Amino acid sequence: MKKNDEIILEITALSSLGAGIGKYNGLAVFVDQTGVGDTVKAHIIKVKKSFAVGKLMEVIVPSPHRKDVDCLAFRQCGGCSFRHITYEHELMVKEQSVKDAINRIGGINLDPLPITPSPALCHYRNKAQYPFSYGEDGLCYGFFARHSHRVVKNGGCLLQPDIFEKAMQGVKVWADKFNLTAYDEQTGKGLLRHALLRFGETTGEVMVVLIINGDSLPFADELTKALKEYIGDALVSLEYNINKKDTNVILGEKTVLVYGKPYINDEICGVKVKISAESFYQVNRPAAEVLYKKAAAYIEKDDNIIIDLFCGIGTIGLSVLNLCGADGRYLYGVEIVPAAIENAKQNAVSCNAENCEFILGDATKAAGDLKTRGIKPDVVIVDPPRKGCDEGLISIIATDFAPKKIIYISCDPATLARDAKLLGGLGYSLKEYSPVDLFPATAHVETVALFSR
């Protein structure tokens, strides 16, 4: 097989990123937008020693799990992986991917609890990041194409709330009126890089943040007026963020308030929360409530001292206190983002949670500081980024803290499995783990796992 060959391929599995996998003369071939049971014609675009990558040209025999695609941008846009298969099959694929990671990477022969579906399949996201570019109609916005930074126009994305599209229409009208330019990665010129939007589902509040390649946002008052015309009083926060670096990181270090307040409000598990531009907040609030309730169910009556690492704006720890009762309990939260820690402190005040302390710092260093202070937790909760926990942090948790249990919330089955193996070597066994689908139509899946000493 060589590049530009066209082959007939039967798809027999799906990768963790959602690509179909078939074997051709013994070589694994990955083809996006295919499903198990498809027989397809694929154009080979890459050949390596151990695998090849093909582009879908034609579905010759459709999978029994295939369904009509409901998005015109699906073939180009990189946002969704599973708009072409049924949701029932998507859930099965995700549950199996978590199980395979735990079995193969973690070396643990334990089946997961049945995956929990998302309460909503469309318009569930409360956050979106739209890159700007130039198109046939001048300045345009959308999402990046698969495996590239080419912007695909996608008005009315099925993952986002309808109000996001209205807000972005207001941004485009404003930008066109004043001939504002889109950032060009090749030249480093152009003003508008991204628009970051947040939505408070329980309040209806919207935040708009323009990420710019400059020192200030021109015609900012006119943008406020344009957004007011398109989304009315839903606009409660307009900001711009300065990022002049040659980087794929979206947000720069400085955010400036233009209108309203530097946060929006929402509520999760009965906890009223403030969310700033830089803060982490689960993008699917109803499904996150399911996830947090599963985590809270592992808290027992005598679990009095709780450490919540990677706590963000405090949603997990404060939800646990609210769901399980705060009497006799003390919560320590650790987060590296300053704005998130400020939000966490405000959120604790808003729900009258006095028995908690939120600490700004790197999780590993802060955990070491808590150990030095003699804090001995009954439970440690971790909700790390996709890269998981580093070995130093795992060592502090398992050896120095030595809690009765560890509750691990993961957005990547592979790093969860890797860390489960490390914890196993330090005396903690995986008792159960439960996948929860927070990201319908995408290849991502969340998991909550319980480890006991």
CA 76 to chain centre: 21
| Virtual torsion, Cα 173, 177, 178, 181, nearest 10 deg | 50
Tokens 């015109």 correspond to: 72
CA distance 348 to 22: 51
Residue 80 is among the residues annotated as catalytic for this protein: no
DSSP reduced 3-state for 401:
helix
* CA-based nearest residue to 413, from 103, 119, 89: 103
d(CA 78, CA 100): 24
63: left (phi over 0), alpha (psi -120 to 50) or beta: beta
H or E element in which residue 364 lies: helix 363-372
The catalytically annotated residue of 77, 351, 356, 411 is: 411
Task: Tell me if residue 420 falls in helix, strand or coil.
Answer: helix
Judge whether 380 and 394 are in contact, CB under 8 Å: no
Q: Which two tokens stand for residue 142?
A: 């959308």
Side-chain half-sphere exposure of 18, counting CA atoms within 13 A: 21
Backbone angles phi and psi of 106, in degrees to 5: -80, -20
Q: Which residues contact 110 (CB under 8 A, 6 or more apart)?
A: 102, 103, 430, 432, 433
CA distance 441 to 179: 36
Amino acid identity for residue 205 in this structure? E
Catalytic residue list: 411
